[in-house]
Amino acid sequence: HRMPTRFADSRDVMACRRTMTQRLLAVCVLALVTLPGALGRSVGDASVRAPALRGADARATLRSSASAAFQVLPGLLPIAPSFTSSKKAPLRPAMGRLFIAQPATRARLQNVRMVQQEAAASVQTAQETSLEAVRRIFETEGAISSREELDAILEKTELPSNPRMRTGKLPNGMAYTILPNAVPGGRFEAHLQIMAGSADETEAQQGMAHMCEHVSYMGSRKRERLFGTSSQTNAQTDFHHTVYWAACPTLRPSTNAPMLPLALDALLDVLEARFETTRVEKERAAILSEAAMVNTIDYRVEVQLLAALHSENRLHRRFPIGLIEQIKAWTPSQVQAYHKSHYRPNNAHLYVIGDLEPDEVEDMIGKMFSHLPARDPPVYLPDEGVDAVTLKQINSFFPPINHEWMGTRKHGADEPKVHIFQHELMQCASVHIFAKFPVEPIRSLADYRRALIKRLVVVAMQVRLNVHARGEPISMVEFSHLDSPREACAVCALDVMANADNWQEAVQVVAKEIKKMALFGLSPSELQRCTSALLSDSEQLASQGDRMSNQEQLQFLMESVSCGHTFMDPFQLQLATQLVAQTMTLEEVNEEAATMCFHMAKFGEGGAPMPSSVVLCAPTSVTVKPEEIIDAMRKAAAQVVEAPPEVIVPDSLISKELIAQKMLEHQPVVMRTERIDDEDYPVTGVCARRMSNGIRLNYHYSDSESQRGHLRVTVPAGRIAETGKYKSGALAVGARTMQEGGAMLGLSREQVELFCVDHLIMAEFACNEELLYMEFVFPTSKVTPGENVVTGFEGVMQVLHAVLSGDFLWEEDAFQRAKQAFVQTHQQVSKSMEAAAAEHLLGAMADGDPRFLSVSPEAIEALTLADVKEAVRDHLKTSNIEVSVSGDFDRDELERLALYYLGTVAPSDSDAEQLAVLEKGTAAFTAPSIPPMRMLSNKDLYIEIKDSDPRAVAYVAGRAPNRWGTMADGTRALANRGEGDVAPTSKTGMVKNLLSGLINKNAASEGQVDYRQNALYPCISLMLLQEVLNRRLFSTVREKKRLTYDANFHLTGFERIQGGWYLVTVTAKPEQAQKALDACKETLQAARTWDPITRDNLQSAAYELVSKHQGALQTNRYWVDLMSGLQLDAIPDKNIDYIRDFVPLVKSIQVGDVQEMLETLSIDQEGMWSCIGSSGHTSSDGPAPGEDVDEDEDLHGRSSQMAIGRRGM
């Protein structure tokens, strides 16, 4: 039940922290070649579709723990990678334990592949009269004689639908879409979309769509039948629809019975829901708790933005969470009446996607849903404010509203719509300029061409803003143009976040770049850059073929259907993109750029179109009036600008000559390592190498993400190392300084950033408690043509070489931006109820150790550029560096690049010193520990945050082992069940002493070792325990006691640091916070005493853990997670067992193992800590008795709005 954002996939497996700007750019470029509009302005899953996080304070994501959050390097932009064929086949691992599939699953996968081959052939035949015909025309010299003739051809060429997709409609009007998909194998998803959301509610039903969602599904007994089957279920309510979904294995793990009937029956129960009093009351309590949980400052900012943007229609007062007083008062019969009006088969669309046979799915849909009777839609009374004709009648997926489109209002004739929102919890100011347009369905080549031109402009504009409009006073800026079926419009938006004191200067800087784009457009090199990204991405998507996950496919499919776009398969899409790219000219693209920027570049000029709305969000300390905002924008638009200079971007950062010289100088060698034997490769798919300078290398081949790669540099040098000569925050701020910089090898930051853009490289430099790391996502092939152009993979290696060789330029302005980011983060922690309470609790448990808390402003101020540079450089020793890579690459090419760019980094230590490190092994490292806890009589803490709205969060915490079962004092958890608590002296010895056949605990052979002796045993036991306790907390605190919307259990999971903490988080209404906290404590203690863990608990947790693991194996990111640390002696407990024995060990763990692991947690009364954080009106910030409240005070803050109307009326 996460808060969704407009610019990110809420189920994104990429766990890298990104800035909002980068998320937008990634979406924009992906949208270039997926389906225009497929990535709408809000995606994801949550019980209630809260507004997207789009305001000033929404830009900085705070960890609920106290550690600092880090963002991705703004200059190294994330653009989806491209595809070109490899010259030689890479080494692929043989089928081993990680790749076992059941016979039935293998047969289905084989059938799916055969169907796909047949579909590809049918695609070619079907395109003979459309895309292929256009291709032949384009290839025929003189076939097109004029622009008009070309336009006519594009207009009449319809885009072909995905040939594997099957659509239909039952006699009762219920629509369905079925899409076979092979990834992940043996799983499917079913989504039921009801075309009714909060915008369909009457004045007396505000929040009823969400209430209906809860009662229909969250309280469904048939949904509960899916529990314990490795299935996930959820539902979401938005303006325009309510969606229920189930993601399941095709066969039940325990019986191999088909799961599709159970999943469809649970969705059928939604349409036939019963509204018993007990069911309604249970969900009412959950909703009231949820309303308090979602009401963060981010949520309130987004409420203001959407309310201002849609002030002329009912969206501005129809947020899905609803009105609390109405929610408290509804009877079951009233909720059932809403259900009867909207939950009609002729108002529903069922999507089924996955490893299933379409014929069987279609037959089952007909049998299970055909009996439902169709009914007429509800009729709204005149006083409800619903127009007789709305956009919903044009597109049934849209809400029943109309819009005032951009261009309706003109400067000189109308007053601009300006809205101000201020709140004491806000730290920065943000300016938002919106323009609304109709959603344009994409069904022909001409439609597709127009959409791609828009997206080219968006990407080019965002790149410019990222490169040229960064730094004081701006902390974030993004430009977007996205289709939004939830709002029944396309929105062009400019969002700027800046220091509150000089937001006007930020507007000036951004407006200058916008005006340059409007007047001068893209340069030829910019057009080439964006077009190359478009073509490369379409080729990569085609190469991905059927390997896109169910979630990705379904996301694109549902958004496309909702917007009225044609849903093509990747091969059709690639051909359409190639055809369209040939027809786009610089003049046409620049005409579109002028049109998209016109309302901002010409702001204030008589007769020019006005933006749909302008919103300023700021702290209450800022004094501002609407007229001042208008004046600032007019002045910004009136600036005189010149065409931007062309930045020369190199094809390669490092010349071949320089590398050849370094090869001669260092004569590097790539060596095998005993730590991971190549004999394990057919089973694990992992190779390990060591460079002669000491750098370790792990790699894994995978084509699941075709022509993509993921690389991580891991250095054991996190904030735990900020002691002695290294000042507090030095490593954290140092990593962020590298992220904010980019100049290297004699090239400017702009040149390096554009090099990364050209090669579609995304990078992150960050530091957590334990590690300094560098993360890269990239294409493994060439993106742009040219003899001297390097691949994305080689580009990453060149950047890495420059950083590790000391050729990275540490810049003062980058350091200042990094410091400012940490100051803002600390301020936001202090004003966020959740983050402040977590920091208060962790600070007490860690005895105030600053290494586990956010970096204080005093510590930041004490740092110098020399301090942070020294802290980072001292730890970047070649013998202390591990590089892990997963992706679709050639093995020989990878080792060649490693030799050239990693091997030629000058060794930090002499040969003798390196040998000494290797001989000492683990003994060379002293493992750090969490600080000892203070002995306090009162461990129940409380903190109050000043806020206008009452909210509360409660935490329960205590000591726990680290990921490998090591306690803070160095003893081993579960040692009495294994070989004892003596750690191995080195990873070499560990690997040699552990056998791959450890798993059978009942083995009769003396040569086999008990599974409890596996180094992974404590780790897996902890993971299973976490799953079990999460289910217990949800079942007890939410379902039985109705005290919260959600409660969860989390382990810190340190890998280097000895010991750790557990943390239980529960949100509740302030008056129930103590009860919710006590219920969490009781749940933990009950699992230890009178209600111990059962076999069913463990089995369900094991199914879930294996399912997550096997699904994640399809991603490069997860493989890098698995490999990182395998060769680091600073992480002695991680070895190849972590990959090889994961699934067998999960299946071998017994109830007693998990129960004994529970004993290692300090969940007794003396060992538990707790903290309640609350906020709400106090004597200093609430209205006095009888005092009047502003009209807009119910929008959770202070807001003002300029009068809207025509002049002179």
Q: By CB neighbour count within 10 A (0-12 exposed, 13-18 middle, 19+ buried), where does 938 fall?
A: exposed
Q: What is the 3-class SS of 36-85, one letter each residue?
A: CCCCCCCCCCCCECCCCCCCCHHHCCCCCCCCCCCCCCCCCCCCCCCCCC
Cβ pair 430, 498 in contact under 8 A: yes
Helix (H, G, I), strand (E, B) or coil at 274: coil
1155, containing H or E segment: helix 1151-1158
Residue in 189, 201, 283, 1055 annotated catalytic? 283
Amino acid making up residue 650 = P
993 Cβ contact partners less than 8 Å away, ≥ 6 residues apart: 984
Distance CA 92, CA 891 (A): 9
For residue 1129, the tally of other CB atoms under 10 A from its CB is: 22
Contact (Cβ atoms closer than 8 angstroms) between residue 391 and residue 399: yes
The answer for residues whose C-beta is within 8 angstroms of residue 355's C-beta and 6 or more apart is 105, 108, 109, 112, 180, 181, 182, 184, 185, 186, 187, 188, 250
**In the sheet that 1060-1068 helps form, which strands lie side by side, from edge to edge?**
940-946, 1169-1176, 951-960, 1060-1068, 1047-1051
Show the 3-state SS of 1183-1194.
CCCCCCCCCCHH
Of 53, 80, 67, which is closest to residue 766 (Cα–Cα)? 67
Can you tell me the distance from the alpha carbon of 253 to that of 1146, in angstroms, rounded to the nearest whole number? 14
Task: Find the catalytic residue in 213, 290, 794, 839.
Answer: 213
Chain-centroid distance of CA 913 in Å reads 42
**Cα 738 from chain centre:** 23
User: Which residues on adjacent β-strands are paired with residue 784?
Assistant: none
Instruction: Indicate if 605 belongs to the active site.
Output: no
Contact 891, 91 (CB under 8 A): yes
Q: For residue 634, count CB atoms less than 10 angstroms from its CB and return exposed for 0-12, middle for 13-18, buried for 19 or more.
A: middle
Q: Cα–Cα distance between 693 and 1204 in angstroms, integer?
A: 69
Of 444, 408, 496, 581, which is closest to residue 158 (Cα–Cα)?
444
3-state DSSP assignment of residue 609: strand
Neighbouring residues of 617: CB distance < 8 A, sequence distance ≥ 6: 55, 56, 301, 304, 305, 420, 421, 422, 423, 426, 429, 430, 432
> Is 283 an active-site residue?
yes
* Cα-to-chain-centroid distance, residue 538: 22
Phi/psi for 1011 (5° steps) reads -60, -25
Length of the chain: 1209
CA distances from 741 to 734, 753, 756, 817, 823 (A): 11, 9, 13, 9, 18
Q: What dihedral do alpha carbons 1018, 1021, 1027, 1029 form, nearest 10°? A: -90
DSSP for 643-699, written as a single string:
PPPPPP--S-SS-HHHHHHHHHHH---EEE-TTS-GGGHHHH-EEEEEETTS-EEEE
Task: Give the pairing type, strands 242-249 and 232-237.
Answer: antiparallel
Tell me which residues are annotated as active site: 213, 283
